[in-house]
Structure 1
């Protein structure tokens, strides 16, 4: 079980969007706050990223940034350049200065019940183009740029897959850069062998009757040592996380499948449909049947 991939699959609430933007200085594009996670890649040239309460960030070729909570921000050739609202249908060419080529897009993520791996991220996730590091990410960026630029046959199938991959690759690169055995956070949770193995067990069998003692035994630790390491890394105790993931899994099953409520309840470890419905309504504020009937989520 790939925990990071499983988390992102559960959080996705719609297809990603992407596009290619070519501008010449002076230029500035404002991206209003939105219920999506935005990403930008500087394919050629340079840019500045400007956001409220954030230091101006200089970006060079190959740099990637992710704004996981859709914070309002601006991309510009210089911090003091004139700015207009970004409109994918009407992008100003700018002036006759230096050329920049940007790859931009957005991911629809369910914000009704965000996963800790996303809520613990900063407002701006920056992965610089460091030669020799994160080669898979930078190769994907190069291929995406070529596909958007050339618009060759089959691009309609290739581009969405690459854009989806970028979300995982950017997060993985950022987490790897912050890997530190003495600190908490999901960079540790996914690399601490015992914690990572226990997360894989929970994600692969969310309906199992897990206890802290069972999980500790399966990863070769005492109950106390395991509970401490898990809580420090993940940010909440093992059974609290298990309950959270069960409800997240239930929401995905309700959204994406038409299984009977009793089958959904059983899959996440409830023997009673009534008990499941009560727990789901407590967490989501709505009964599971009504949740299923809602219009498709759009990242709100």
Structure 2
């Protein structure tokens, strides 16, 4: 099944700068999602994934199970949603201690499945139903969102910070998978996009004590600076002007920004400019001079040097690769 591309996050309006930046970052990576299967498992059961090349998610429709990584164990209950980045090793089973078979062995008993196909597995005991899906991101090389995704993003269905319409969205996914009406693959893939965005919002609402780029989005001062950087990457920003925008001294601002975001303000600005430039260069009608000006460089030469330092190739080489990958214009 072809994955569906989406740009469904819009600015959240005044008073919530973090979500504006999150929307900008999401648009920049072209989130593509797929609902892979519906699991009907009965205890005892267990499966092991030794690092998937793309991010996965599991939504628990009913019942309970345990997700174990090298770092911790999570008990998942009905209404829970968990996002697992690429490369993370984990086991999913009815309870801790149950033997977990490699997922390839579990699927070998079922054979190839279409989007949302049913996988039934286990020993006939207590049951759990899960919806399983995957995500990919395009243009993620310099994206702050992809770089700073949590190691494990767990949204509890009964948490106060969980969006009210997350649970109805899960029910809608389940009903579409069961009915399999014409177009259901597109519908459930788009709903998976919504689930991911909702999970990020719930994480933002519940991570007041945590650091990282996502936490920086909701910091009143650093979040406001990030918003302006994303709104106007072409502006002649300096450390002094950014600190003034935050209402802080240069030294205090620089340290606060580095602690939350993980890099210096001007280093972040350069990386975001290059990320934006990569997206603009995929638009074939734009000249290189236009791209350079759009991200704050007066000349193609200065832009080219900065781009090569960040990306490793010249803008011309990058654009040629993108044109060849995209194929002829329709």
**Please, what TM-score do these two structures have when normalized by structure 2?**
0.78
Q: Match for 1:44 among 62, 65, 69?
A: 62
Name the structure 1 match of 2:45. Answer: 27
Name the structure 2 match of 1:57. Answer: 74
Name the structure 2 match of 1:152. Answer: 181
Name the structure 1 match of 2:4. Answer: none
Deviation at 1:92, TM superposition (A): 4.9
What residue ranges of structure 1 are gaps of 5+ in the alignment? none
1:68, 1:118 within 8 Å by CA — same for their partners in 2?
no
Q: Match for 2:260 among 233, 243, 246?
A: 233
Between the aligned partners of 2:81 and 2:49, the Cα distance in structure 1 is 16
- Over 3 Å counting, the alpha-carbon distance change for 1:82 and 1:250 in structure 2 is same
Between the aligned partners of 2:128 and 2:281, the Cα distance in structure 1 is 44
2:139, 2:278 within 8 Å by CA — same for their partners in 1?
no
How big is the alpha-carbon RMSD for the aligned residues of Structure 1 and Structure 2?
2.6
- Over 3 Å counting, the alpha-carbon distance change for 1:99 and 1:255 in structure 2 is farther
Deviation at 1:112, TM superposition (A): 6.1
Q: Match for 1:254 among 265, 281, 297?
A: 281
1:101 counterpart = 2:129: yes
Between the aligned partners of 1:212 and 1:170, the Cα distance in structure 2 is 33
2:153, 2:203 within 8 Å by CA — same for their partners in 1?
yes
Q: Match for 1:10 among 28, 34, 40?
A: 28
**Please, what TM-score do these two structures have when normalized by structure 1?**
0.85
Deviation at 1:63, TM superposition (A): 1.5
Between the aligned partners of 1:254 and 1:73, the Cα distance in structure 2 is 38
Deviation at 1:255, TM superposition (A): 3.7
Between the aligned partners of 1:142 and 1:151, the Cα distance in structure 2 is 14
Deviations 1:85-118 (A, max 9, x none): 2547264533322222111111112586354444
2:57, 2:134 within 8 Å by CA — same for their partners in 1?
yes
Matched residue pairs, number? Answer: 292
- Over 3 Å counting, the alpha-carbon distance change for 1:184 and 1:95 in structure 2 is closer
Matches within 5 A, 1:205-216: 205-216=232-243
1:44, 1:101 within 8 Å by CA — same for their partners in 2?
yes
Q: Match for 1:68 among 82, 85, 88?
A: 85
Which consecutive aligned stretches of 4+ in structure 1 deviate over 4 angstroms post-superposition? none
